Amino acid sequence: MIGVFDSGLGGLTVVKELLKLLPQYRLIYFGDTARTPYGTKSAETVTHYAIEITNFLLKKGAKIIVVACHTVSSTAMPALKEIFPKVPFFEVVTPSMKKALKLTKNKKIGLIGTRTTVESGIYERLFKEVDPEIKLYSQPAPLLVPLIEEGWLKKPETRRIVKKYLIPLKMRGIDTLILGCTHYPLIKKVIQEKAGKRRKLVDPSEEVALEVKTFIETHPEFIKELASNEDPEIYVSDITPNFEKIAQLFLGRKITLKKVNLG
């Protein structure tokens, strides 16, 4: 079983890509909807949540864990790998960085993400290691996750806020934009429209799903452990009618959200 988690529903973008690439494998998802957003919380709190959720997914039978949250990926990965040394972890930051490097022509890359992700400096460090000539321009976008969780995917207010966040990055001359949160692909069309057709978008959901696929294909010992044709199990820490509606709309299938309290 492949375990996936996020601070809310945004990680379902990763589930969708995994279902597309690996339909024969069983998936379990946990969205921490009661405590979202993570981007406004301390690294210590986010790490505590991530450990709780990983324990839950492993107890449910997950054999590999996909951290579908940029905030967790940028703050908690060292702790997770230390506490669970035998578990293969996949995060969304590194594959997004690699894709941006392939796409950029002028080496000016933009990033939108939660405050915690941007302030962590994780992307700056990674780019500096592989190509010091890259200029990364980061823009915190704290309002986007709450808007997406509310289902305001096409509202005029959302479009105006996206435009406002992107203006400073466009003025810097970026040719590539990293969607530094797995919620953001839910409004990818709006972001592309406001960014302009010439700018390439990096979707973290697509990139991490490809990495998981490659891993499974090169590690046959996991195939039997993960294989199943059952529907994905979707767990959340809080349920509202809106959450279920958004989840079903995005995944394109009828699902049942199951509530579980971890704290």
Domain 93-203 class, CATH top level: alpha beta
What integer pLDDT is reported at residue 145 of this predicted model? 86
Residue 4 and residue 66 in contact, taking contact as beta carbons nearer than 8 Å: yes
What integer pLDDT is reported at residue 233 of this predicted model? 92
Residue 173 reports pLDDT greater than 80: yes
- Nearest Cα neighbor of 72 from 168, 164, 204, 232 is 204
Residue 84, SS3? coil
What are 177's strand-pairing partners? 110, 201
What integer pLDDT is reported at residue 200 of this predicted model? 98
What integer pLDDT is reported at residue 190 of this predicted model? 97
Sheet holding 89-91, edge to edge: 89-91, 64-67, 2-6, 27-31, 233-236, 257-259
User: Residue 226's pLDDT band (boundaries 50, 70, 90)?
Assistant: low
% the chain with pLDDT above 70: 97
What letter would DSSP give residue 220? Answer: G
Mean pLDDT, residues 190-219: 94
C-alpha distance from residue 63 to each of 92, 120, 181, 195 (Å): 18, 28, 24, 38
Mean pLDDT, residues 92-109: 96
Residue 92 and residue 204 in contact, taking contact as beta carbons nearer than 8 Å: yes
Q: What pTM does this model have? A: 0.87
Residue 191 reports pLDDT greater than 80: yes
Q: Which CATH fold topology does 2-91+205-259 show? A: Rossmann fold (3.40.50)
Distance CA 87, CA 160 (A): 42
Q: How many CB atoms lie under 10 A from the CB of residue 255?
A: 18
Task: Point out the residues that are catalytic.
Answer: 69, 181
What integer pLDDT is reported at residue 116 of this predicted model? 84
Residue 249 reports pLDDT greater than 80: no
Residue ranges per domain, the chain?
2-91+205-259, 93-203
Mean pLDDT, residues 166-175: 97
Distance CA 5, CA 72 (A): 10
Distance CA 4, CA 30 (A): 6
Q: What is the CA radius of gyration of the chain?
A: 17
Asked if the domains at 2-91+205-259 and 93-203 fall in one CATH topology, the answer is yes
User: Residue 66's pLDDT band (boundaries 50, 70, 90)?
Assistant: very high
List pLDDT tens digits, range 112-166. Answer: 998 888 988 989 999 999 999 999 999 999 999 889 878 898 999 999 999 999 9
> Residue 152 CA to chain centroid, in angstroms?
19
- Nearest Cα neighbor of 46 from 7, 13, 1, 4 is 7
- Nearest Cα neighbor of 99 from 245, 250, 234, 210 is 210
